[in-house]
Amino acid sequence: MSGTLYIVAAPSGSGKTSLVNALLEREPGISLSVSYTSRLPRPGEVDGKHYHFVSRDVFERMAAGGMFYEYANVHGDLKGTARNAVEPLLAAGHDVLLEIDWQGARQVRAACPDSVSVFILPPSRAELERRLRARASDSAETIARRLADSREEIAHAGDFDFIVVNDQFADALADLRAIVAGQRLRRAAQLSRHAVLIADLLKNE
Ligand SMILES: Nc1nc2c(ncn2[C@@H]2O[C@H](COP(=O)(O)OP(=O)(O)O)[C@@H](O)[C@H]2O)c(=O)[nH]1
Ligand SMILES: Nc1ncnc2c1ncn2[C@@H]1O[C@H](COP(=O)(O)OP(=O)(O)O)[C@@H](O)[C@H]1O
């Protein structure tokens, strides 16, 4: 049986990366896909860990070669998930998590209708702005663009299977863990419901 593909999206600054990292620490069975991007690294970002940083030209050639599972132009930068970061892992039964925007999420839902998608909301616009400023690594211009772009991202929250509000971090993390636990229970129940039939069909005469 193939693994579960989780999609997590959110407006920039809502705490998505912090929440996903905390979730993966507690759920080591889920692999985080490292995206490709044409944007420059921020101070402290490591190639191959936070992103695979490539030139726009290389990104566009990869896209033309069909190497991406999904990709989109996000805040003016190209970002994409390589097929090889998803398809072989799912086929081998591993769970994979994608931190991507709403445009990528739409492409993934079309390719993988069984994926489980989560949208993270900040508790208010004022708090979103405060968190973007607290990060300190972005220029005023970048922060303004992310705040403006957040409206388009939030407008697609209703397309997702679950919405988690990241007000108190511990509560939001508990909600994410409950979503993962629920998915695992559903899959286990489905397998056990059909276990006898599957064993029977596999039996050698
Ligand atoms: N479609 C798509 N979006 C991505 C991918 N990787 C990151 N993003 C999105 O790009 C946006 C900006 O990410 P980033 O530049 O790391 O900034 P941050 O969200 O402010 O930390 C977020 O909405 C991410 O979900 C990807 O592979 N595909
Ligand atoms: N529940 C929370 N309460 C207060 N601050 C938070 C919370 N969640 C995340 N943050 C802070 O908000 C900032 C943005 O978080 P980050 O994970 O980088 O967001 P994103 O990946 O969505 O852009 C960081 O400084 C982070 O520590």
Domains and CATH numbers, the chain: 5-33+94-202 (3.40.50.300)
- Residue 4 Cα to ligand 1 midpoint, Å, equals 21
83 and 33 Cβ atoms separated by less than 8 Å = no
β partners of residue 168: none
**ipTM over cut 0.90:** yes
- Residue 95 Cα to ligand 2 midpoint, Å, equals 24
Q: Which atom of ligand 1 is nearest to the CA of 51?
A: 6
Express each pLDDT in 134-192 by its tens digit: 877 778 888 898 899 999 999 999 999 999 999 999 999 999 999 999 999 998 888 88
* Tokens describing residue 203: 């039996």
145 and 74 Cβ atoms separated by less than 8 Å = no
For ligand 2, whether the C-beta of 10 sits within 6 Å is yes
d(CA 152, CA 94) in angstroms, rounded, equals: 32
- Residue 37 annotated in ligand binding: no
Model-level pTM? Answer: 0.93
166 and 123 Cβ atoms separated by less than 8 Å = yes
For ligand 2, whether the C-beta of 16 sits within 6 Å is yes
* Tokens describing residue 80: 């994409």
Express each pLDDT in 77-128 by its tens digit: 999 999 999 999 999 999 999 999 999 999 999 999 999 999 999 999 999 9
Other Cβ atoms closer than 10 A to 201: 8
14 and 124 Cβ atoms separated by less than 8 Å = no
